[in-house]
Chains A and B, each alone.
Chain A
């Protein structure tokens, strides 16, 4: 009974829909049907448009997210590239410095009958900074005790006195600096022919003694190695006079001089090895 009634309702509703549909089809060109059509359209379209907009926005968002991810990866790649280039630039700068240094060495005036051995400073104790250092060349490179050790002065393009080898090992040598209190170096005032003695003072200053009274020594005068030195070549720059103490009670004047080799950081040393005499 219930089923029959339900079927009857279904059929009635179907017939109603059929009639409405047919009336829409038959009267599709009439104003009233157009009005209904437009009315439904104006209700449905904004909602569909909004849904479409949301869907498109989601798509755009996904695209933007993809672009951000891609850009991030690209950024990482560029950072790596930048790092590589920075490393190369750093290497280039180091190489450039080395090139300049080597170029300057080429300009160095060769000292007759001597052979230059270039060495790196491997050890320099900070508590005994002005006393000694160790270089990375030794007897294997033809070095031996009492050889003069100099430093290349880039500004003046000359070699200036640093010290003397006191201990030689197979691949290293210990150098006593001219600033060591045990060291005394015969020097003269450049261009004035005034002989004196430079004694180490355990600082960047040398104590210049035995300057005769009445001799014309002034701050700024340059000190060079005198011919009395048995270690260094004559006229090798040593330092520059900073202060002169003229006390009448003493027989000689005393001065202080700043060493040249401390003007620049000391990384390299040049050991001047006499060439063996050829018969």
Chain B
């Protein structure tokens, strides 16, 4: 039993690195939460712009969404990370990375919201108009609730992608779970154990969110048009 915690054993190395591993996990969770918060708040606004805004605004938004969705997240991260330094804005790698992935999440969320809103039959909007609701009234009381039901399953997929995307922060030096594991590897040379354990943690988090999404999808399956 005692040999498990002798130097050279995986458990011993994990115990030695517990501080950095736990703070790495905290950074991963914090970055994922901030990215999803940015994506959700700005993305919903963006989706509304894509669907209802005046043409010039819609075009700008469309260009943004198409460019960001057509670029690898890693390139966006490096662009923001090195770009902010060049124009003299001093931000930490964490902030630069979260802004970059957050911007990516905004584009995906906006597209999901637009798709959900546009897939609602015209009759719903007409009916809401007929009972005298204004634009915001229609949005909040008639279209919004239906759009949420349609957007939620694909959006939860996006959320999982964002959690997976936080690993890219390690490439600009943010000590997230992956970089913490990497540091532990460079001391212990236990690459398989540490990356394997890291994989398990990410799979547990993402599978949890996916299962939640599947549950939501089943609960909403009764809605048919």
| A and B found bound together | no
**B interface with A by C-beta (< 8 Å):** none
**A interface with B by C-beta (< 8 Å):** none
